[in-house]
Every structure is written in C-alpha cells, then in structure tokens.
Amino acid sequence: MGAVRVVRGFGAIVALMSVVGWGVPARAVTDAELQSAVFRAKPAVVMIGVEVGATVDVQCSSGERVSVRPDPLRWIGSGSIIHPEGWVATNAHVVQPFYERNEATLGAELLDKAVAKACQAELEELGGEARAERIQALTAQPANQDAVAVEKKLMVNMSNGRMYPAELKAYSPPVYVEVATKVGAGGETVKEYGRDVAVLKIAERNLPVVRLAAHSKALNLGQSLFVIGFPGVVASHELLSKATQFEPSVTVGRVSGFKLDVGGNRVIQTDAAIIQGNSGGPVFDERGEVIGAATFTSLQGDQVVQGFNFLIPVESLREIVQQAGVTPQGESAFTRLWDRGVGLYVRDLHARAYRSMNAASQLHPGFPDVERVKEACQIKHAEQPYLDREEVQWGAIGAGLIGALGAVWLGVRRLRSAARRAIQQIIREEVEQLGLRRS
C-alpha cells in the first residue's frame, strides 16, 4: 500500500497520526433532532472566495499592444459566522492565496493567459508544442513582464446571495507550515506549526450565527456529527443552476478517531464526506454546536480516499478568534427568530412558525431554507383540518377561559347576593326579637 497523503488545498503532505482519545458510542439522534439542528445552522455557513485578476498590456509579435483582462484565478472554501457583527472563521489555507506575497507567481500565470487571449490571431495556426513555445517567448519579453497589474479580492458569500468584501483580521498558517522553533525541556529544538485558522470581518449586522461548543474533548467515538460547506464538485457542477451555488451542502457522519497533526496539535477524524471546498466549514454535534472545522482529507496516490477526513477542534478556533480580539456570540436577532421558528415548525405549530420566520426574513431576506420552510408552513397549515389548526385551538382555549372566568364571576355575584340576603334576614330576625322583648 502507498503512503497516505492529506490534502491542504494546494498540495499534499505525509501525515502519521497518534491516537489521543477514546470514548464510548453516544446515542443515535433522531431524524427530527438532526433536521432541527441542520436547519438552525445553515444560514450562518458562508462561502469564502479568493479571486486574483489582472489587467495586462500585451505586446504580440506584430508589435501591436493590446490591453486584456484574462480570466481570474479563483479558489473557494467554507466558513461560519461566529458573531452577528460580521466576524467569520475559516481555514487559513482557504485564504492563503490572498494572504501570501505571491504576486510574482500568480502574475506569471495570469500573463500566460493574457498572451493566449491577446495574441490569439498568431497562435491559432500553431498547435501543441509550437504554440506553447510561442506563448513562452512572448511572456519572456521585458515589455510583457512589466505589464501585469495583479489585483486580489477576498469575498464572503452568504446563501441568500449577498456578497461582501472581507478584511483578514487574524491568520495562523496551515498545519504544514513551520511558524517558530523553541527549546524543549530536554534542550532539544521543537518546531511549532500553524493551526490553519483565519478570522475575517465583513460590514454587516444582526447576521445569523453559529454556536461554538465550549470544547471538543467530551466527544466520543461513534458520536454523530454533520458538516456544512461548499464542496467544489457541487459549486461548479455543470448540471446545476448557478442560482443555487451559494447554498451549502450537508454531509453526515461520526467521530471515528482522535489524532495529532504533524505539529502535535489535536485533530478529530471523521467518516463524514469532505472534499475541496469544504475546508473551513463548520462541523456540528447533534445539538447543533460547532465542535470543529473541516481541514484536510486523505489521498492515496492521486485519488481522494473518502471516510478518512480530519477536523481542527473548536479549541483551535477559539484560540485564534481570541487573538483577533472578538468574543464569539451564539445569538443574534435573526438567529433568535429563526431558532424559534424552527422549534415551532418541528412541533407542527405552523402558523406561529411562519410568523417567526417571516420576521427573521425581514431582517435578512432570501435565505433558501427560510423561504422553503415558510412555504412548507403555509402548505401544512392549509392542509390541517380546521379544528386541528392552532389558532382555532387557541381560540377554543381562550373561549373556554373566558367562559370559565364568566362562570366564576357569576358564581361570585350569586354568592355575594345570597350572603346579603342571609345577612338581611338575620338583621330582621334580630329586630323582631328586640321588639318583642320591649313590649
């Protein structure tokens, strides 16, 4: 068998892991519990996009100079909103092309594309190796080497279609990057590696948020979890509408191991499906709390081996988020309304669920799950027998309470009236007896 290699977004590394935990299987969650947790979490999961483009003034063999914009280089990943004021957590390797000073390397790739586009007339009659050699010769010209102006963009895309430019607020490099060395207790040199976490900021308020678990150390082998993110094979699928490309996908699995990465930091192994594009996406326990983030998968040769994927634990997220100067907040105006609506929906209280979800969508309209559940509430409410509808039942309860209060009020009045009559009778009898004694 070949060595197992792990994907980091831009390559593969050899990883040997050690078991650091053990537990007992947790109880299986019900479908209703899982559905509720997924519904609550999805609006707060975002797509992270990095785009590197350029404007290039290309001089072809004819001497003519043509200004072109080649197709930009793009990368996608996933992330989660951890604070309603626009703070987002993801993997560092997702934003690595934006963070690194790699303009020369990326500029050379964009120049190749620009030359192929601008000098198409002289290249179209050439084939294969001859065409590649001509492009190489043109890109090597000093006039073209200095003609590339690289532009980088970092974007956060929400599932309601809104797109925001993002600032990078904190960055701990991928796990394979050596960040420091220190002297160990025995005088040996110890290397320190990155935690693969980045924190972004967008300009928005009252956003949906995820809830971070206090820690991940109570997880047990066999415990259920689910991953939400944007696998590239789905986001770029040729048979899917672009209208749904910003809606995240959910995969479900279990905790299958506890390991250490090459830097000695804890990672969680899972059999939940993860692929390029899922990186940085939140991973939830059955209660809907974030216990980690998808970070790398496994390769054998050039093939992705599913069922052997890894997560950085929530402790690593919290550490880098703290360095960014923000405290995660698991509630917002939107999330309170949405959570309440989901809770009512799973209890078949459709009219009240609709009102709560409608209030949430007024804060941030267009979330696909919110709109779908609102529509389901309307349909299910209309299909209910009239006497089973919650407003009819509440009306009946209200009428019953009013009737009961009325009956009590009438009873009190009758009691008071009877008491008055009794007192009057006693007084009359006392007066009569007093009159007889005087006579």
Q: SS in 3 state form for the chain?
A: CCCEEEECCCCEEECCCCCCCCCCCCCCCCHHHHHHHHHHHHHHEEEEEEEEEEEEEEECCCCCEEEECCCCEEEEEEEEEEECCCEEEECHHHHHHHHCCCHHHHHHHHHHHHHHHHCHHHHCCCCHHHHHHHHHHHHHCHHHHCCEEEEEEEEEECCCCCEEECEEEEEECCCCCEEEEEECCCCCEEEEECCCEEEEECCCCCCCCCEECCCCCCCCCCCEEEEEECCHHHHCCCCCCHHHCCCCEEEEEEEEEEEECCCCCEEEEECCCCCCCCCCCEEEECCCEEEEEEEEEEEECCEEEEEEEEEEEHHHHHHHHHHCCCCCCCCCHHHHHHHHHHHHHHCCCHHHHHHHHHHHHHHCCCCHHHHHHHHHHHHHHHHCCHHHCHHHHHHHHHHHHHHHHHHHHHHHHHHHHHHHHHHHHHHHHHHHHHHHHHC
Residue 27 has pLDDT above 90, yes or no: no
Confidence check: pLDDT of 41 > 50: yes
CB atoms inside a 10 Å sphere around CB 78: 28
181 pLDDT band, cuts 50/70/90, is confident
pLDDT of residue 22: 37
CB 396 within 8 A of CB 404: no
For residue range 322-331, list pLDDT tens digits in order.
Answer: 999 999 999 9
Rounded mean pLDDT of 247-270? 94
Confidence band, pLDDT 50/70/90 cuts, at residue 24 = very low
**Domain identity same for 25 and 162:** yes
Domain boundary among 344, 361, 384: 384
Residue 305 maps to a domain: yes
What is the separation, in whole angstroms, between the first and last Cα of the chain? Answer: 128
Cα separation, 233 vs 231, whole angstroms: 6
413 and 317 within one domain: no
Same domain, yes or no, for 81 and 113? yes
Answer with the residue of higher pLDDT: 297 or 99: 99
Q: Are 117 and 161 in contact (CB under 8 A)?
A: no
Tell me: do 159 and 308 sit in the same domain.
yes
pLDDT band at 5 (very low <50, low <70, confident <90, very high): very low
Do 33 and 8 belong to one domain? yes
Task: Tell which residue, 226, 311, 314, 313, has the closest CA to residue 272.
Answer: 226
157 in any annotated domain: yes
Confidence category of residue 375, pLDDT binned at 50, 70, 90? very high
Q: Tokens representing 180?
A: 């420091």
User: What would the mean pLDDT of 3-28 be, rounded to a whole number?
Assistant: 37
Determine, yes or no, domain membership for 328.
no
Domain boundary among 284, 304, 323: 323
Please check whether residues 236 and 374 belong to one and the same domain: no
Residues 240 and 352 occupy one common structural domain: no
Q: Does 7 or 234 have the greater pLDDT score?
A: 234
CATH number at 137 reads 2.40.10.120
Q: Which residues contact 260 (CB under 8 A, 6 or more apart)?
A: 17, 18, 20, 266, 267
| pLDDT score of 109 | 94
Please report the pLDDT score of residue 3 as a whole number: 34
- Reported as a pLDDT band with limits 50, 70 and 90, residue 183 is confident
Residue 221 has pLDDT above 90, yes or no: yes
Mean pLDDT, residues 323-351 taken together:
94
| Amino acid identity at 155 | M
Verify that 231 and 362 share a domain, yes or no: no
Are 110 and 256 contained in the same domain?
Answer: yes
* More confidently predicted of 7 and 392: 392
Pair (104, 225) in one structural domain: yes
The model's pTM:
0.80
Rounded Cα gap, residues 131 and 389, in angstroms: 72
Average pLDDT, the chain: 85
Name the domain count of the chain. Answer: 3
Structural tokens at position 143: 């006039």
Q: Is the pLDDT of residue 399 over 70?
A: no
**Of 323, 343, 361, which residue constitutes the final position of a domain?**
323
CA distances from 179 to 10, 222, 401, 423 (A): 18, 34, 69, 95
Residue 381 CA to residue 247 CA, distance in Å, equals 26
Q: What is the domain extent for residue 36?
A: 4-323
| 157 and 82 in a common domain | yes
Judge whether residue 7 has pLDDT over 50. no
Compute the chain's Rg from CA coordinates. Answer: 33
pLDDT tens profile 271-311: 999 999 999 999 999 889 999 999 998 887 777 778 899 99
Checking if the pLDDT of 12 tops 60, the result is no
Q: What is the pLDDT of residue 437?
A: 55
More reliable by pLDDT, 102 or 185: 102
Amino acid 189: pLDDT = 84
Say if residue 68 is in the same domain as residue 200.
Answer: yes
